[in-house]
Structure 1
């Protein structure tokens, strides 16, 4: 009985253990059972009830069976326990692995969080630094802009001050120049009055002397005339008393008068015919072509003055020499000539350059001005054709230079031209329609834009004559100083004019150095070559107006300043007139 009870207890315990194993193995049982399996207890209780109700034999077999079942169950429980232990170990291992993985993930997450925090802090720090740098740059830019604005304001104030100072200085110089000019004019007027009075005194004295001499001469001539008439009276008396002598004297006087009248009228007719054949047209102001063949060499030498009184820019001078050489070669090869146009301010040497171009190329030249055509009226066309007919008589070729061409060849559609002027222009266009082998047409103008388009179409080469630069002005000062001061009075005249001409006083030069000439060249900016010549002519006049006929640095500088102020005043008046 004790064994049966033990087996029942064992069965109950085994059932409880099996219930625990089943609980561990079955997740669903873990979800539904709190501690053990109640079926094992029921089986144990049932077994105990069967034991208590069975007989001995049956009880022995039952116990044996139960023992076997219990052993089997114990073996199964042992297996299940081992399996449970393995599962538990595996579970613990997986749990540890999960814990390790979770810890690892946690560490990684913490590292990532720390990295994100560090990156965020770094990004935030960079943004703060960038914003700080941007603020510093903006502050620097604002400070730089403020500094620039301040400097520009200061420079503007300086420029304004300089302009006001320059305006005051110009006004002062202008007032001073005007005052000096008025003073010189007053002095000149006083000197002129003194000279006039002296001349009047001298003239009165000379008139008295001349009266005395005239009286003496008159008495002398009266005596001679009386003696002559006495002789003539005696002769007339002899002729009148002798009839043959009277007829012979009247016939001789009549024949003499007829001969003189016939010779004069005949010479007038002959020379008129020769002048129509060989004469120079009235439009020509100056020419190297002589009226008659036997005087051609002298005429050419008389008119070929070249570059004596003109100083040109070196590049322009080289260009003129190149054109002269090309024109000479064109003439030698029988090719047609090319036409030129010279334009630039007045007094820059266009006429002299045309003369030099003709001389260097071996051509004759003729000078006319466009202002002479308009007064001719209806005769202008005839004169133009006569001019071109005459120009073809040159054996060497002719360079026809038309000065002030815009006065004659202006645009027909832009100006009000008379019919006569239009006809003259059309005549010139007709005669210059083709390239000529006899005539080179050279036009000079201050306004090239005013020329007619048909005239401009006939121009092959255009040369600009600018105002002389400082180096050219210095050369002009040297040239005209030598001409008007150093060699004053050396002009060659005929012996008859020199016989009655008073000897000119020599000008003494003191203090006019090269530095003074360079200073004058710098002051005379904007002067043309003609104005430089007039400047030195004014210096010569000022020297002749002085008492000792001496040119010093003070007088030279005074005249230069006066002419510079006068030039500036003319420019201002011209600007006001154009405005």
Structure 2
């Protein structure tokens, strides 16, 4: 609507019903450009004319009112927009003020921070100065103390020197007086001896004559007695014969007794004494019978036990070892030839325990030796090995000889670098086990059976793999040791042990699932740890949290051990240690 008032901002073309203005006369500047230019010289009144004409037309038009309303509304819209812009400007001003306040706050905080740093630096500097002053005071005090100490030491040294000088002077005076006294006594004694010299010489002469006479009389008397006795002995031939016979019999008796004692000792040692290589045995020895007579009596009165009592194995392995136990018992009853067994697998899977139970079930004695004890014996290893087998062969009930860690000395002779003494001991072992025996049964246990010499493998009749327990076996083991180390002590009431209320069966099942890969020995140690935890508590009560803590600790330790084993394990692994083989 701006064209109504002759205001055309964009210089748009006029409406079509208005006539075009006539062109200006003359050139730029009016008439010929001779008159001077003023501010109205370029004014064009045609626009005002057109606006006036448009206003007259608009007044005469029927849309005049609507046009005025539209113009008014447009003006109001412009005012509203202007007010909006003013509010936006005021908001921007307020935001700018807030930003200035924030910036001023930041500057103030920075200023406060810098002032704080300055105060801290000033305080640190003052503290440093105070410490330096204190150290200087201490240093001065130390120097003063050192000076006083030095003066005291000098004073003490002077006093000590004066005391030593006094003592030395006194000693010199005493020595001088002593020398004067000794000289006086010597002169007096010499004077007395000079005066009594004749008397003293006479006394010495009399004493010597008396002593000489006494000695001669003694020699004469002894010779007379000995000569008469010897003449009487020589003249009596019966006495001479009896004396010679007695001395001969005495010499023969001493010699015979000494040899007989040595033979008897070797026999007792071979038959009844325990060899040095045997660490543990159920066979009754003289020393054990003397030390523990009640224990020996109970052992003799004991009855055969089940071979798998207290031994938890998987069903297939349990069936196999039960067959071995039955066959061994029947062999012992019928005095047949025993079969040699090799048991291999990870540590703590029950090899030693089953060997003991097998001997007790079969009515045999057992003896346990370790392969690591053979190598340190050196040259004595051959003799010790023969003593072991001689002692084993003398058993009337039959002996189960269990060799733990057998791979320590039964290694391959061709590839392994073993000493000559160990090689000789191995040959002695092979010689004594070359044939089946009805006196002893050989049971070898090893974690690395692949290191055995081939001749050892040839002497083994049956190989049994003791693998790590599975889930069911672990649950049986957990329940067994929980009952042994926790429930029984708590129910018997002999020890200070109590158990909190929780589901024992569910807890044992959960522990069995968590202890995957652990051996029976590790699970038994877990039971001992529970008991120790209860004893260590103030009230002596074993709670579920304490059990979980010990289980977590054992699992962490087991994982650490497995990591160590993995780092030390050579490429290709060891088949004997594979828990799932």
TM score, norm. by length of structure 1: 0.49
Larger radius of gyration: 1
The structure in which a higher percent of residues are helix is 1
TM score, norm. by length of structure 2: 0.48
